[in-house]
Each structure stands twice: as structure tokens, then as C-alpha cells.
Amino acid sequence: MIVLIGGAPGVGKSAVAYQLARELALLRLIDLDVLRDMLRIQSREKDDPILFCNALNAWELHGPFGEKSVHEGFHAHMRPIVGAAFSLIDSYLSAGKSAIFHGVGLLPSQMARYQRRNVHQVVVATVDEESYRTRLIEKYRMRTGMDPLKVRIDAGWMLHRQIVAEAEACGLLVIAESAPAQAVAKLMHRIRS
């Protein structure tokens, strides 16, 4: 069984993935942030600056802040991560291994190619903009002890809207719940049916 959990930065993908792994008793839980870190180890920031950005600030290399630069920066940042992630997913499928993959790099348009291959796909979302902003601020504070810049929160919300719209257009399951346990329950229902 392969499960792909995508979504915007800060929506709770990791929390859902960890709870789902416990529920399914799956030992392989693959966080795409680790793939990004491995790619960074093999590169230098001066040679590949976009790789050393994150999803919320990659727009800075693509012009002034706005929808276009946020989307272009995000996709440029994700491009090498997406390639590595889907190569790994393909190798797991070929070998018949089970795993849960989670991360921002699981873009809906790429996930959709697995719809007919017995791969469970979900995009985790928040119920509304206020919930998203609150969750992202809490996550950032937990990681850094500081508040994020407002522009990064705004970029995150732009990405959230884009990813959810893309997922819906691709016919992927979008789960927007206020707690990870509720999202896992919905996903478990989908897996069992």
C-alpha cells in the first residue's frame, strides 16, 4: 500500500501521516523534507539558490511579492524535490513495498498520475483562511520561537488555495478538518472502502 499525503506548508500533513502510520501499522514513513535536505547536501547554495529557499520564501527569487512570483518560486523550489520524490515512489511501487509519503512536494498534478495504480492520495487542507494562518503561525513559533513574517503567511495562504484548487481539478481527495485525528478517520474510511 502506498499513501501520498500532500498539501500546503503548515496544514498538518506530518501529523496526519504519523497518525495514519500508527493506524495502519506501516513502518515506512517518508518525509519529503528529508529528500530536500539530501539534495541540499549534494549541492551548494551559490550554485542552486532556489533549492536552499523554502516554499514560503522562494518567491523572493522571482520578483516582487504577488500571486505570480509566489507560484513560480514555489514550483521552481519544488522541481528537484518532486523529481526525486516520484522516482522513489515509482521504485516502491515496482518493488511492491508499502509506505506513506508526505510533504509539500507531492503536487496534485503529479499525484494524479497514480490514480489508476492502487495508490491512495490525499491533499490535507484547513477549513478556512483563519485556521490556516493560525496553524502556520503556531508551527513557525514552535520551530523558531518567533513569529513568521506576514508576507510568508500570505504566501502560504496563496499556495494553500492553489494546491486545493489543483487537487480538486485533478479529482483528488481533499480533507479539510480542524484536527489530524478527524482527517485520519476520513482517510481510513476511504482506504477501507
For every residue of 155-177, DSSP letters joined together read HHHHHHHHHHHHHHHTT-EEEE-
At the top level of CATH, which class does the domain 2-192 belong to?
Answer: alpha beta
Partner residues linked to 125 by β-bridges: 176
pTM for this predicted structure:
0.95
Domain ranges of the chain: 2-192
pLDDT tens digits along 50-69 = 999 999 999 999 999 999 99
- Rounded CA-CA distance 10/140 in Å is 8
Assess whether pLDDT exceeds 90 at residue 16. Answer: yes
Contacts of 24 (CB under 8 A, 6+ apart): 1, 3, 100, 188, 191
125 within 8 A of 175, measured Cβ to Cβ: yes
188 band by pLDDT with thresholds 50, 70 and 90: very high
Q: What percent of the chain has pLDDT over 90?
A: 90
